[in-house]
């Protein structure tokens, strides 16, 4: 349960990679990283619809989740980041990350239950994945991942280039063994991602209706709990 919760947190944080790209795919990895460095200075907010497809190898089954995700960054450090995901189907759920507090909260409105987590001892692993997306600099990626430019491949008819990432830290590889990113070659945003685990389980994320640097709806970083909400405190944090 603890590893699954950390995986959910990491996935939320990694939810998208935004970089300023040219109309044609970049010629090499260094071009991609340089473009990411330039974008890191300009991205402040993101709103996007998502579809998450979780595959469990043991039972050979897929679990689909859809919803909308929000991101806000006021500075360059992890403490300057807020993120939330509103999962709408198959069951409503809200996931909220606050960088300043170093906490993640998961709220399930149907059973009126709130589960808070502290990043705690997994802070280094968390921050390694945090630099993946939302304007993360290419120079930061090089510090935490083995990177490969994997050519081009379309996603839903849109030309994209692929990046393959393997975490350098063993603790990070325990969460995801590898990550593949598909970047829109014209808009420079991540249209699809795949997060692979050693077990053979994986998650594929697809994004649509992406809005960058627009004003976010009010209240997206606040949970609408009730006076009867049951708070569950997991032992040991995350």
Instruction: Name the fold adopted by 2-213.
Output: outer membrane lipoprotein receptor (LolB), chain A (2.50.20)
**Which of these, 113, 96, 137, lies nearest to 13 by C-alpha position?**
96
What are the structural domain ranges in the chain?
2-213
Which position has the higher pLDDT, 140 or 113?
113
17 phi/psi in degrees, rounded to 5: -120, 120
Write down the pLDDT at residue 13: 56
169-222 tens-digit pLDDT: 888 888 899 999 887 777 667 788 899 999 999 999 998 998 989 999 999 999
**137-182 confidence digits (pLDDT tens):** 777 788 888 999 998 899 888 777 788 999 998 888 888 999 998 8
pLDDT for the residue numbered 135 = 59
Does the pLDDT of residue 5 top 60, yes or no? no
Angle at 118 between CA 57 and CA 64, to 5 degrees: 30
> What integer pLDDT is reported at residue 34 of this predicted model?
75
- The pLDDT assigned to 19 comes to 37
Pairing of strands 45-56, 61-73: antiparallel
Residue owning tokens 């919803």 = 67
As a whole number of angstroms, the distance between CA 82 and CA 71 comes to 6
Chain segment 62-110, per-residue pLDDT in tens:
999 999 999 998 877 667 889 899 999 999 999 999 888 888 999 999 9
What confidence score (pLDDT) does residue 129 get? Answer: 72
The yes-or-no verdict on residue 9 having pLDDT over 90 is no
Q: Is the pLDDT of residue 133 over 60?
A: no
Q: Provide the pLDDT for residue 107.
A: 97
Predicted model pTM:
0.82
- Counting other chains too, the contacts that 145-153 makes at CB distance below 8 Å and 24 or more residues apart are 145/179, 147/29, 147/33, 148/29, 149/26, 149/28, 149/29, 149/32, 150/180, 151/25, 152/25, 152/185, 153/182
Which residue pairs, CB below 8 angstroms and at least 24 apart, start in 79-87?
81/130, 81/134, 82/221, 83/12, 83/13, 83/15, 83/134, 84/220, 84/221, 85/12, 85/15, 85/50, 86/220
Q: How far apart are CA 223 and CA 112, in angstroms?
A: 11
- What six digits make up the tokens of 112? 């009126």
Q: List Cβ neighbours of 38 (8 Å cut-off, separation of 6 or more).
A: 19, 20
Name the pairing type of β-strands 103-108 and 178-184.
unpaired
pLDDT tens-digit map of 11-60:
565 554 443 333 454 458 887 777 777 777 788 888 999 999 999 999 99
Query: Taking each helix axis from N to C terminus, what angle separates 123-130 and 2-13, rounded to the nearest 10 degrees?
Result: 30
Give the torsion through C-alpha atoms of 98, 1, 109, 209, to 10 deg.
60
């Amino acid at each position: 349960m603890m590893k699954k919760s950390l995986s959910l947190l990491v996935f939320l944080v990694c939810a998208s990679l935004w970089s300023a790209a040219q109309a044609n795919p970049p010629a090499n990895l260094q071009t991609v990283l340089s473009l990411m460095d330039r974008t890191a200075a300009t991205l402040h907010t993101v709103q996007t619809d998502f579809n998450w497809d979780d595959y469990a190898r043991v039972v050979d089954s897929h679990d689909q989740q859809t919803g909308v995700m929000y991101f806000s960054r006021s500075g360059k450090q992890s403490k300057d980041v807020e993120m939330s995901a509103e999962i709408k189907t198959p069951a409503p759920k809200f996931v909220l990350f606050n960088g300043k507090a170093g906490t993640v909260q998961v709220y399930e409105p149907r059973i009126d239950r709130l589960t808070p987590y502290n990043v705690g001892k997994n802070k280094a692993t968390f921050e390694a994945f945090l630099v993946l997306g939302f304007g993360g600099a290419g120079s930061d990626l090089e510090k935490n991942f083995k990177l490969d430019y994997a050519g081009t491949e379309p996603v839903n008819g849109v030309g994209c280039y692929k990046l393959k990432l393997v975490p350098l830290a063993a603790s990070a590889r325990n969460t995801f063994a590898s990550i593949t990113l598909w970047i829109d070659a014209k808009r420079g945003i991540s249209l699809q991602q795949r997060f692979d685990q050693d077990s053979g389980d994986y998650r594929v994320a697809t994004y649509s209706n992406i809005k960058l640097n627009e004003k976010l709806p009010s209240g997206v970083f606040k949970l609408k709990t009730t006076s009867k909400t049951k708070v569950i405190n997991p032992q040991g944090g995350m």
